[in-house]
Amino acid sequence: MDKVILIVGICAAVAACVAVLLQRLGTARTIDGIEKMLDTAIKGEFTESSFDEKRLSKLESKLSDFLRESSISAQNVKNERDKIKSLISDISHQTKTPIANLILYSELLEGTDLPAEAKENAAAIHAQAEKLRFLIDSLVKLSRLENGILELNPRRTGLKPILSEVVSEFKEKAEAKGLTLSLADTQASAVIDEKWTREAIANIVDNAVKYTSRGKIKIDTVDYEMFVSVDIRDTGIGIPEEEYTKVFKRFYRGAAVKNEEGVGIGLHLAREIVSGEGGYIRIDSKVGEGTVFSVFLPKK
């Protein structure tokens, strides 16, 4: 009797061990299957035919369904992005020539012997055509950035050449208004996309020139441990504190500048570029005294 009990006990123990072993083997196979599916998905190669449903556990089957749906969604996003890219390219191409012609013909009219009123109308057409060109160019750039069509490629870059180019671009416009536009010497560098950073700073300097009627605009840099600050300081109309965040919204126009030139997209584009590089923009302003836009660019 004791021998029977002992044999039964041994058999039960063996059966338990076998059950545990099979469970562990099953768990290991499931984990291996899940790991394989995730590796395939990460590579972007996951397809419905990659796995045999007969071999999948319930958990593996659910994960397979999820990855399949994710793969389809990713492909749909890519298709939509390609459509947007094509649309933006068409808009940019199709509007370039008509706008250039509008500007050309308005300049020709301004140079002819016209009555004063007609010359004013020609000048107005010229100004509005330039405004339209700036708006379309800015929207195309912004759309490309926001949709990932164009990516920022930051690398270690000296700031002096970029800032010197911006000063050269706006110096004539500033002097025409009786303003002094200057740049303090700098040896600072930052990890940035040179082309797009120049675009961001140029938009801020353009705003400074637009909304400063007397005095000066000065650009200098401050080298911190983690960032380089490019400070664009003007003696213009200033910005009320409650508008500090609003001025970066797309098409926002403050009450004090509604009748001035501009479309309200330059600062929004500047912020998108700088934040995409890992930096940020800060405002310090006093109404009637001037504004400082500090563009913090990452050093690492």
Q: Taking 80 as the threshold, does the pLDDT of residue 255 lie above it? A: no
Please tell me whether residue 143 adopts helix, strand or coil conformation.
helix
- Return phi, psi of residue 41, to 5°: -65, -40
H/E stretch holding 259 reads none
Select from 186, 182, 184 the least CA-distant residue to 171.
182
- Per-residue pLDDT at 8: 40
| Residue with tokens 């005095």, as numbered in its chain | 215
Please give the average per-residue pLDDT across 43-63, as a whole number.
Answer: 54
Q: Pairing between strand 227-234 and 189-192? A: unpaired
Q: Which residue has the higher pLDDT, 165 or 28?
A: 165
Q: Taking 70 as the threshold, does the pLDDT of residue 147 lie above it? A: no
Least confident of 146-155, 172-181, 196-205, 218-227: 146-155
* Two structure tokens written together for 28: 């290991």
Q: For residues 210 and 260, is the Cβ–Cβ distance under 8 A?
A: yes
Q: For residues 258 and 231, is the Cβ–Cβ distance under 8 A?
A: no
According to the per-residue pLDDT averaged within each range, which of 57-61, 79-83, 216-220 is highest?
A: 216-220
Name residue 192's beta-bridge partners: 155
CA–CA dist 77, 258 (Å, integer): 38
Select from 158, 105, 162 the least CA-distant residue to 129.
105
Query: Alpha carbon of 256 to those of 238, 243, 251, 271: distances in Å?
Result: 9, 11, 15, 21
According to the per-residue pLDDT averaged within each range, which of 48-52, 102-106, 202-206 is highest?
A: 202-206
For the CA atoms of 263, 268, 269, 271, the dihedral, rounded to the nearest 10 degrees, stands at 150
**Domains of the chain listed by start with CATH number:** 2-75 (no CATH), 155-298 (3.30.565.10)
> What does the buried/exposed string (b/e) look like for 163-176 if buried means 16 or more CB atoms within 10 Å of the residue's CB?
beebbeebbeebee
For the CA atoms of 104, 109, 111, 113, the dihedral, rounded to the nearest 10 degrees, stands at 170
Please give the average per-residue pLDDT across 5-26, as a whole number.
Answer: 46
Q: Which residue has the higher pLDDT, 30 or 135?
A: 135
CA–CA dist 257, 287 (Å, integer): 12
